[in-house]
Chain A
């Protein structure tokens, strides 16, 4: 048998260096980069670099040999080679000024077909949806780009078109769930086919030139090239799922033949589409309204009520409420407010929206419309105001969506200092310390109490006393009423009394039976005693059952101990870990709460003393005044 040589098997053959891959595929480095990005083949890190690199220990870019072999079969490799030929031939034409030939050649530029790659990389539609985050963010970003070096204008235009189409889907399906304004841009989260899709839309400010020092534009452009195709297919499928015509069109009722529309219909339509303000043409005539949801709810109801199902039910209810959040409201967006994000929000939750027709095409009504309920403003003051509408700052819309209710508008009025904009991506039901401000935001009822707590401490004390008195009064009244009731029942034999009567004979029977068994040889004394007991048995007024807290706690602890002992040995570590985590969390929460309490107490004390001093001063002043008066 031949002695195996070094690096002929194992890790050394599993990996291939980039240079070797280039040689194998007969491509230039740029073409190879492009191919890899399009096919989703990325470099790998080996476990033992020296072994994988056949003894050399410098850090090379390595690929799986299997991946490269997979690339060998790819049909676009041939297109990439065609590019090289194309460049050579067209350059020659240009050099000898054979423009006729050049024109012909340019028309037949070898285009890369990526459909099969999309299908290959995302075997199912859900896979594609799972990977949509990156894609959307990048495309939204590129849609704001002008034509740059290495980024052609058609690409950014295509990005704009696809993202607008996607937004149309989001609006039509009402799948938006969470929004967040960050310093990076607007975060949106939608739920599409059960997948949470998150993306960032940049703030629309003038384009900032990017330095080439940190970002490789060429690479990003290739990513975008792939993502545009992927989003195109996704959009097609999503639109068809909703029975919308795919290249979005308007029903003929929306598009009137006006001068503008007749002049250049294509640009007119594309402007209206970009406005996001009209419903699109549907391929079916009937509009179904949320029937699916109801069916789901019914199914769930059959399934008893485990915690998860209850949670799901709540979630479903909340979502159904969210979908009609702005129904019946009419918004007007002032010119200084970013239009697009707000239009998406308002439209996807059933509201009507318009803006000044000079900013963007597609406004539905004017500012003077008296039926407008909310005007979104972002400036300190406004000259002309209508009484019939609320002037609110844009954050109100975002917060309403996150809280899934219509919040009171008073905190968001024109010129008000806004409450903090909290992130919806932090779980509000988390079991850690939640500061009271956040709690107040989550539960509006707490706002009032919080506001009241700022009142005088003395007043509070008085109020407490009053409340205590009230409580006592109430208790006494209740007691009285109860006694009266019982008396009435005794008199007339209320339903309770009847029941008791019925029960009693049964009990007697049972006892009688028992007696009969033992009867014959029993002593009379016993029967006597029993009869006495029987006489004693009667309905008495109930006592409030006092819960012994200590005992309950003890029982709980015992139960917990028993549970701990019941845990299987292999799960013991996990159990301990869980317990420890819980304890630390509790401790942290306790600490924070304590901190808060001490701070608040200090504040209260300070306020009290300040007030006392003020009162003293006032008294002194009054005394002086009286003296002077005398």
Chain B
């Protein structure tokens, strides 16, 4: 029996039949009767003495605990309150809305009852969801178990010869009725496509050795000859670099004469003011002329029409006669050239031998060129390819300088970082494009001081004001003097 809440409205029930009378809620009547019986048994409040009902409180009141809430707790409490910005929207009127159903927001139904769906699935999608859920938990458990046992995923032989047909039950045929093509096709159509790698993936892109063996001079305790050999190699390379640098310097920096800073500034000034002085002079000249011209005001200069500096272009047309003559001359020149050539040919008959020699020479040159090109192409096969914006540059060879060679394992001075070495090898083998770390500049943030924190400094405005005041004072003083 549950107590009926006072506010709720009673539901009307039909009482047409006698059996319907049973539906009548007689709870309140029974409650009342029960209370009455209780009172009869133990008496009413009025019968009792005050001492029985009340106890004298002799202990002092405990001071109310000042609830010191942490910031976090306060924040949590505040979060429960409605937002301040929404307070204005709240209806504070005591008058009830006459239309109760105005703007009635329907509460969303509280989702599906998943428990029910799990226990007795009614729809196919429930069953699907259930199987998915089972799969998920299975996976999760497997994952967690693997993590716990630290098992590696590599414990199988992947290089075993396995036919893809064995994995697909329908395609396993011992009688050889299903051709390979058909099997491939079927596998593709049931979502287990056999992907063929194309051969070019395995092609080598460089002929250079993949793993470079060390130079014997790199030993921790090298033979002197090997060590010298390595050092001489490094020196040779360094010399090459220096030579290149010097060349670049010669071709660029030292091509230009040097001047003192004063001279440079003067030149700059001169260059920048080119044409300005001339104009001034001209203006002056014009003004002088105007002055000489007597009575003509300088303002009239402005009204003068615009003149270009260049001389006007004339459209000179050739006369018909001139054209004819020109054509004739051209024809004549052509014919003399032809004649000359014919003459040359007849003369060449005599020097056939030397012409043949010339041709041979030319051919030899061509062959030489071809050979060199071929050589270059062959050499390029050993060099790293240009894959990106930056060119691969060979890293420096590692060497222990003679004073660093310790001669025993305890005091070895290690050179080079192996990681860097590996990275460069990958780049050399055309597996990575050469890159350079770019440090992007962060946008400059302009910072302002809060006016409340500003120190009372001297501002430009203040200075201006001061200057003005001083000027005014000086003027006033002058006036007084006069």
Residue numbers of A with Cβ under 8 A of B are 37, 40-45, 58-62, 64, 66-67, 70, 73, 104, 107-108, 113, 115, 118-125, 128, 131, 133-134, 137-138, 141, 180-185, 187, 198, 200, 202-203, 205, 208, 210, 212-216, 219-220, 223, 229, 232-233, 235-237, 240, 246-247, 266, 336-338, 378-379, 393-395, 417-418, 420-423, 425-426, 435, 437-438
Q: How far is the CA of A437 from the CA of B225 in the complex (A)?
A: 10
Query: What are 26 A-B pairs at a CB distance below 8 A?
Result: A41-B201, A45-B386, A58-B389, A59-B389, A67-B201, A70-B197, A108-B143, A115-B154, A123-B197, A131-B210, A134-B422, A184-B218, A215-B419, A215-B423, A216-B423, A232-B152, A233-B156, A236-B157, A378-B408, A395-B221, A417-B407, A420-B219, A423-B214, A423-B215, A423-B226, A425-B213
On chain B, which size bracket covers the interface?
A: 35 or more
A-contacting residues, B114-157, CB 8 Å: 136, 139-140, 143-144, 150-157
Q: Which of A58, A182, A214 has the most CB of B within 10 A?
A: A182
Q: Is the CB of B388 within 8 A of A220?
A: no
**What B residues does A138 contact at CB under 8 A?**
422
**The residue from B158, B410, B412 contacting A118, defined by CB atoms under 8 A apart:** B158
B59 at the interface (CB under 8 A from A): no
**What B residues does A232 contact at CB under 8 A?**
152-154
Q: Is the CB of B416 within 8 A of A184?
A: yes
**What B residues does A208 contact at CB under 8 A?**
417
- Nearest first, the 10 A-B pairs at minimum CB distance are A232-B154, A423-B216, A420-B223, A45-B385, A133-B211, A421-B221, A425-B213, A43-B387, A182-B218, A125-B159
Q: Is the CB of A418 within 8 A of B386?
A: no
Q: Which of B140, B193, B220, B221 has the most CB of A within 10 A?
A: B220
**The residue from A40, A187, A233 contacting B214, defined by CB atoms under 8 A apart:** A187
Taking A198-B213, A247-B155, A420-B219 as known contacts, 14 extra A-B pairs with beta carbons closer than 8 A to each other, sorted by chain A number, are A59-B386, A61-B388, A122-B159, A123-B197, A141-B419, A180-B214, A203-B414, A208-B417, A213-B437, A216-B437, A247-B152, A338-B409, A421-B221, A425-B213
Nearest B-chain residue to A223, judged by Cβ: B426
Q: How far is the CA of A118 from the CA of B157 in the complex (A)?
A: 11
**The residue from B211, B225, B413, B430 contacting A42, defined by CB atoms under 8 A apart:** B430
B435 at the interface (CB under 8 A from A): yes
**The residue from B151, B388, B409, B414 contacting A184, defined by CB atoms under 8 A apart:** B414
Q: How far is the CA of A73 from the CA of B194 in the complex (A)?
A: 10
Q: Is the CB of B220 within 8 A of A181?
A: yes
**The residue from B422, B426, B430 contacting A141, defined by CB atoms under 8 A apart:** B422
**What A residues does B389 contact at CB under 8 A?**
58-59
Q: Is the CB of B414 within 8 A of A183?
A: yes
- What distance in Å separates the Cβ of B168 from its nearest Cβ neighbour in chain A? 16
- What distance in Å separates the Cβ of B37 from its nearest Cβ neighbour in chain A? 52
**What B residues does A417 contact at CB under 8 A?**
407
Q: Is the CB of A107 within 8 A of B418?
A: no
- What distance in Å separates the Cβ of B220 from its nearest Cβ neighbour in chain A? 5
Q: Is the CB of A198 within 8 A of B211?
A: yes
Knowing A138-B422, A198-B211, A200-B418 are in contact, say whether A378-B410 is a contact too (CB < 8 A).
Answer: yes
Q: Is the CB of A108 within 8 A of B407?
A: no
**What B residues does A187 contact at CB under 8 A?**
213-214
Q: How far is the CA of A214 from the CA of B435 in the complex (A)?
A: 9
Q: Is the CB of A379 within 8 A of B410?
A: yes
Q: How far is the CA of A137 from the CA of B425 in the complex (A)?
A: 11
Q: How far is the CA of A44 from the CA of B432 in the complex (A)?
A: 10
**What A residues does B144 contact at CB under 8 A?**
107
Q: How far is the CA of A360 from the CA of B437 in the complex (A)?
A: 41
Q: Is the CB of A422 within 8 A of B219?
A: yes
Q: Is the CB of B210 within 8 A of A134?
A: yes
Q: How far is the CA of A212 from the CA of B417 in the complex (A)?
A: 12
B340 at the interface (CB under 8 A from A): no
Q: Is the CB of A184 within 8 A of B222?
A: no
Residue-by-residue, is B329-369 near A (CB-CB < 8 Å gives 1, otherwise 0)? 00000000000000000000000000000000000000000
**The residue from B143, B150, B153, B387 contacting A107, defined by CB atoms under 8 A apart:** B143
Q: Which of B159, B198, B213, B410 has the most CB of A within 10 A?
A: B159
Q: How far is the CA of A128 from the CA of B201 in the complex (A)?
A: 15
Q: Is the CB of B432 within 8 A of A420?
A: no
Nearest A-chain residue to B221, judged by Cβ: A421
Nearest B-chain residue to A178, judged by Cβ: B213
Q: How many A-B residue pairs have CB under 8 A?
A: 210
- What distance in Å separates the Cβ of B395 from its nearest Cβ neighbour in chain A? 9
Q: Is the CB of B412 within 8 A of A203?
A: yes
Q: Is the CB of B410 within 8 A of A421?
A: no
Q: Is the CB of A183 within 8 A of B422?
A: no
Q: Is the CB of A435 within 8 A of B225?
A: yes
**What A residues does B385 contact at CB under 8 A?**
44-45
**The residue from B224, B398, B421, B433 contacting A61, defined by CB atoms under 8 A apart:** B433
**What A residues does B225 contact at CB under 8 A?**
435
B272 at the interface (CB under 8 A from A): no
**What B residues does A107 contact at CB under 8 A?**
140, 143-144
Q: How far is the CA of A184 from the CA of B216 in the complex (A)?
A: 12
Q: Is the CB of B407 within 8 A of A437?
A: no
Knowing A70-B197, A107-B140 are in contact, say whether A205-B210 is a contact too (CB < 8 A).
Answer: no
Q: Which of A44, A70, A119, A423 has the most CB of B within 10 A?
A: A423
Q: Is the CB of A418 within 8 A of B221?
A: yes
Q: Is the CB of B410 within 8 A of A336?
A: yes
- What distance in Å separates the Cβ of B373 from its nearest Cβ neighbour in chain A? 14
**The residue from A62, A125, A183, A421 contacting B413, defined by CB atoms under 8 A apart:** A183
Knowing A61-B388, A183-B398, A421-B222 are in contact, say whether A394-B409 is a contact too (CB < 8 A).
Answer: yes
**What B residues does A44 contact at CB under 8 A?**
205, 385, 387
**What A residues does B416 contact at CB under 8 A?**
183-184
Nearest B-chain residue to A138, judged by Cβ: B422
- What distance in Å separates the Cβ of A188 from its nearest Cβ neighbour in chain B? 12
**What B residues does A423 contact at CB under 8 A?**
213-216, 218-219, 226
B420 at the interface (CB under 8 A from A): yes
**What B residues does A213 contact at CB under 8 A?**
437
**The residue from B197, B201, B211, B407 contacting A418, defined by CB atoms under 8 A apart:** B407
Nearest B-chain residue to A213, judged by Cβ: B437
- What distance in Å separates the Cβ of B380 from its nearest Cβ neighbour in chain A? 10
**The residue from A108, A131, A236, A266 contacting B156, defined by CB atoms under 8 A apart:** A236
Nearest A-chain residue to B156, judged by Cβ: A236
Q: Is the CB of A233 within 8 A of B422?
A: no
Nearest B-chain residue to A376, judged by Cβ: B409
Q: Is the CB of B201 within 8 A of A70?
A: yes
Q: Is the CB of B425 within 8 A of A134?
A: yes
A-contacting residues, B184-219, CB 8 Å: 193, 195, 197-198, 200-201, 205, 210-211, 213-216, 218-219
Knowing A45-B386, A420-B224, A435-B225 are in contact, say whether A236-B419 is a contact too (CB < 8 A).
Answer: no
- What distance in Å separates the Cβ of A447 from its nearest Cβ neighbour in chain B? 15
**What A residues does B150 contact at CB under 8 A?**
266
Q: Is the CB of B415 within 8 A of A183?
A: yes
Q: Is the CB of B205 within 8 A of A42?
A: yes
Q: Is the CB of B386 within 8 A of A108?
A: no
Knowing A200-B418, A216-B435, A220-B419 are in contact, say whether A246-B155 is a contact too (CB < 8 A).
Answer: yes
B431 at the interface (CB under 8 A from A): yes
Q: Is the CB of B201 within 8 A of A40?
A: yes
Q: Which of B136, B139, B418, B432 has the most CB of A within 10 A?
A: B418
**The residue from A61, A134, A181 contacting B219, defined by CB atoms under 8 A apart:** A181
- What distance in Å separates the Cβ of A204 from its nearest Cβ neighbour in chain B? 10
Q: Is the CB of A393 within 8 A of B409?
A: yes
Q: How far is the CA of A105 from the CA of B59 in the complex (A)?
A: 56
Q: Is the CB of B409 within 8 A of A183?
A: no
Q: Is the CB of B200 within 8 A of A64?
A: yes
Q: Is the CB of A210 within 8 A of B417?
A: yes
Q: Is the CB of A180 within 8 A of B219?
A: yes
**What A residues does B157 contact at CB under 8 A?**
233, 236-237, 240
Q: Is the CB of B409 within 8 A of A66?
A: no
**What A residues does B387 contact at CB under 8 A?**
42-45, 61-62
Knowing A133-B211, A216-B435 are in contact, say whether A210-B193 is a contact too (CB < 8 A).
Answer: no
Nearest A-chain residue to B404, judged by Cβ: A183
Q: Is the CB of B154 within 8 A of A229?
A: yes
